[in-house]
Amino acid sequence: MYTGTDFQASGLRVAIVVSTYNHSITDKLLTGSLETLASRGIEADSVDVAKVPGAWEIPLAAAVMARSGKYAAVICLGCVIRGETTHDVHINTQVSQTLGNLALECELPVAFGVLTCNTVEQAISRAGGAVGNKGVEAAEAALEMMGLLRKLPPSET
């Protein structure tokens, strides 16, 4: 059985793409991700953070970073809160699909830490509140996938 749990990632570089929109939420997601990476052996100078204006811009920055070959994973953080229109649905659908496709294309962990909430209260709960910190969870998922990919047989492309 292949697993990537308890992977110590010292010596590897990680990219984080974070939206500045809803920054009171995304700042907490970023802090959670950075603290998690540090606790697992990734030095602060081995993490590059790209700040983008909103969730819509996350995939482009993530793609450039993923395709650079410099990173063992890309962690994507953002927060989209439902409004009076269906705008959030279009953003969430495109961002999630594009990031999923990017992970497959690059064979690289692309962690999805983009909150897709109905209310500000739900976002607060997921950024260090009652439901935890999804930035921590995204970093943990990236770390586990980095470990797993190092154990799986290489692809035959």
pLDDT digits (tens, 9 = 90+) for 112-122: 999 999 999 99
Provide the pLDDT for residue 155: 75
> Domain 14-148, CATH 3.40.50.960 — does that match?
yes
Strand-pairing partners, residue 133, are 127
Active-site residue, 23 included: no
Provide the pLDDT for residue 157: 63
Provide the pLDDT for residue 6: 74
* Cα(60)–Cα(1) distance, integer angstroms: 35
42 is in an annotated binding site: no
* Cα(99)–Cα(112) distance, integer angstroms: 8
Of 23, 87, 150, 151, catalytic: 87
Is the pTM higher than 0.85?
yes
7 is in an annotated binding site: no
* Cα(30)–Cα(58) distance, integer angstroms: 14
82 is in an annotated binding site: no
Low-confidence stretches of the chain (pLDDT < 70) are 157
Q: Residues 94-113: pLDDT tens digits?
A: 999 999 999 999 999 999 99
156 is in an annotated binding site: no
* Cα(66)–Cα(45) distance, integer angstroms: 18
57 is in an annotated binding site: yes
Provide the pLDDT for residue 11: 85
Provide the pLDDT for residue 143: 96
